[in-house]
Amino acid sequence: MAVSNSSKKLLFSLFCFLSIVGFKLKPTASSATCRSNLRAILPPPYSDLSSLTCALIWQQKFSFRFFQDRENVTTIVLSGKHDHKWIGIGFSRNGRMVGSSAVVAWVERDGVSGLRQYHLEGKNMSRVIPNKGDLRFTTASPVVVVHGDLLYIGFQLQFPTSLAYQPILLAIGSANPLPNGLLPKHINSTTTYIEFSAHQKTQPMEPNDLRRYHGMTAIIGWGVVTPAGLLVARYFRHMEPSWYYIHSSVQFVGFFVGIISISIGRNLYQRIGAVFLAHKFIGYTVFFLAGLEVCQFVGRPPSDSKRRQYWNFAHYWVGRIAMVMGVMNIFVGFHGIAANDWTLRIGFGISFATLLIAVIVLEALRRRENDLQESIVDQPPVFQVIDKR
């Protein structure tokens, strides 16, 4: 190990800094209307669009979120300032109004909202036919929600083919539809192009996949790698000085995998709206303690320093507590899930049993060795108080 002490410290500080910053950072959208959290505003399936592509369209006055799945089902949430009587979104073949079909949403003076399809057969009010058109709604009911000064329109459509670079018509009107359904003309309208296919790959992971990856990384990080690193520190101390490098790099990797698990867990909590407080609390505590451990490398006093024994003591115990809580939280996690993933359970069972056996065997070996040594030489106490006066 030719790494100098100061560059090692620098590296660890950088890592600690980056992991703290990285944990706090969330992807930020470019505008206020794209930043709103749909989960608090709309019911599923529209609430799941929060993390998806959001484009600001029509002079940045509207935000357009969408998700197209593999079955050509497109979920759309459009939001804009609620100062118009109606907002329409049309799907056009050629970018023009005539011949296309549109979804129009409005809010009555008494707050009652409505949404209807119109077939745009001509540019005269009488040629805009209510409840007609090519658009096929799915079983998910459309929603129209006023939240603050924004109007949110969510709906889901089944298209016969997948949408690619699609002309989208937008229009706003100044009066609500008439009782017979006819729509007063818009006061403003535009055509914009949305690339629907480019984002198909950014499909969010299914909650079940998230669960599996979360559990997998948690088991590897907190259940296998970090405990293994602790075993190295406790039972392979005679391999001076390589034990320390092995220990710290193994903990490093374990902590990294653990961070991945926690960030997937956070995502999962948001996606499924989980109320699983104990698990979350223990998870963050483990993260905090383990972070403390990793970052302690920075402040490790030299081995001849008087403070070193306190440091060692704190380091051992924080580490042990973090490990026990981490393993415990895996059990808690398994307890909280509805769907049984047996491969994960079995995998964890095997690794837990291995860990347990390793601890028992290594501890027994160590005791025996210590007994042997004690009979030869009088061992100094583990935490000896050096009085230099």
Ligand X SMILES: *[C@@H]1O[C@H](CO)[C@@H](O)[C@H](O)[C@H]1NC(C)=O
Say if strands 100-107 and 165-173 run parallel, antiparallel, or are unpaired: unpaired
Q: Is 280 in the site for ligand HEM (CB under 6 A)?
A: yes
In angstroms, what is the minimal distance from the CB of 202 to ligand X? 18
Residue 308 contacts which entry, ligand HEM, ligand X, none (Cβ below 5-8 A, type-dependent): none
- Interaction between residue 71 and ligand X (CB under 6 A): yes
Q: Applying CB under 6 A, which of residues 65, 85, 116, 214 lies at the interface with ligand HEM?
A: 214
In angstroms, the CA 247 to CA 3 distance is: 16
Q: Residue 171's binding partner, choosing from ligand HEM, ligand X, none, with beta-carbon cut-off 5 to 8 A by kind?
A: none
d(CA 257, CA 265): 12
Distances (CA, A) of 277 to 117, 283, 365: 43, 10, 40
By beta-carbon proximity to ligand HEM, the closer residue of 74 and 226 is: 226
What is the rounded distance in angstroms from the CA atom of residue 23 to the CA atom of residue 26? 8
Which residue's CB is nearer to ligand HEM, number 62 or number 293?
Answer: 293
Does the footprint of ligand X cover residue 28 (CB under 6 A)?
no
Question: Least CB distance from residue 137 to ligand X, whole Å?
Answer: 15
Check residue 333 for interaction with ligand HEM (CB under 6 A): yes
CA distance 349 to 121: 65
Q: Does 58 bind ligand X (CB under 6 A)?
A: yes
Q: For ligand HEM, give the closer residue by CB, 122 or 336.
A: 336
Which amino acid, 342?
W
Size of the site for ligand X (CB under 6 A): 11
* DSSP one-letter string for 39-103: GGTS-TTGGGGGGS-EEEETTTTEEEEEEE-TTSEEEEEEEEES-SSEEEEEE-SSS-STTEEEE
CB atoms within 10 A of CB 70: 8
Q: Are 102 and 117 in contact (CB under 8 A)?
A: yes
d(CA 219, CA 174): 58
Q: Which stretch binds ligand HEM (CB under 6 A): 161-169, 178-186, 260-268, 372-380?
A: 260-268
154 touches ligand HEM (CB under 6 A): no
Residues 180-199 that bind ligand X (CB under 6 A): 188
Q: How many residues does the chain have?
A: 389
Query: 3-class DSSP state for residue 223?
Result: helix
CA end-to-end span of the chain: 36
**Which of the stretches 28-36, 56-64, 224-232, 266-274 binds ligand X when contact is defined by CB under 6 A?**
56-64
Of 367-386, binders to ligand X (CB under 6 A) are none
Joined together, the tokens standing for residue 142 give: 């459309």
- The smaller minimum CB distance to ligand X, of residues 126 and 139, is found at 126
Q: How far apart, in whole angstroms, are the C-alpha atoms of residue 224 and residue 218?
A: 9
Chain residues 285-304 in contact with ligand HEM, contact rule CB under 6 A: 286
124 lies in the binding site for ligand X (CB under 6 A): yes
Residue choice 334, 359, 362, 366 for contact with ligand HEM (CB under 6 A): 334
Q: Which is nearer to ligand HEM, 39 or 266 (CB)?
A: 266
Q: How far, CA to CA in Å, does 165 sit from each of 117, 191, 197, 302? A: 22, 13, 7, 63
Whole-number minimum distance, CB 126 to ligand X, in Å?
Answer: 5
Choose from ligand X, ligand HEM, none: what does 71 bind? Cβ within 5-8 Å by kind. Answer: ligand X
> Pick from ligand HEM, ligand X, none: which does 333 bind, CB < 5 to 8 A by kind?
ligand HEM
Contacts of 45 (CB under 8 A, 6+ apart): 75, 140, 156
Residues at the site binding ligand X, with contacts judged by CB under 6 A = 58-59, 61, 71-72, 124, 126, 161-162, 172, 188
| Residues of this chain that bind ligand HEM (CB under 6 A) | 211-212, 214-215, 218-219, 222, 261-262, 265-266, 268-269, 274, 276, 279-280, 283-284, 286, 326, 329-330, 333-334, 336-338, 341, 344
